[in-house]
Amino acid sequence: MAAERKKLLLRLDPAVHDALVRWADDELRSTNAQIEFLLRRALNEAGRLPKAAAPIPRPGRPRRDDPPDP
């Protein structure tokens, strides 16, 4: 069973939020997925991404050759 994802209230400057929304749209991600992508990249670059961190789930339907989630 996958661990429950944590919820977080994040307060942002409106201009920063608008820039994140545009960036996420350009990369075909949700704003939430874009923020998680950027945080993971920053953690990885700093050598602080935990090895136990599950990969980000891919959007959309699974491929036929993907194993089903347990």
pLDDT in tens, 10-33: 999 999 999 999 999 999 999 999
Write down the pTM of the prediction.
Answer: 0.74
Taking each helix axis from N to C end, the angle separating 14-26 and 31-45, rounded to the nearest 10 degrees, works out to: 90
Question: What residue segments make up the domains of the chain, in order of their start?
Answer: 14-45
Q: How confident is the model at residue 58 (pLDDT cuts 50, 70, 90)?
A: confident
Q: How far apart are CA 41 and CA 48, in angstroms?
A: 10
Residue that has been written with the tokens 């350009």 in this structure = 26
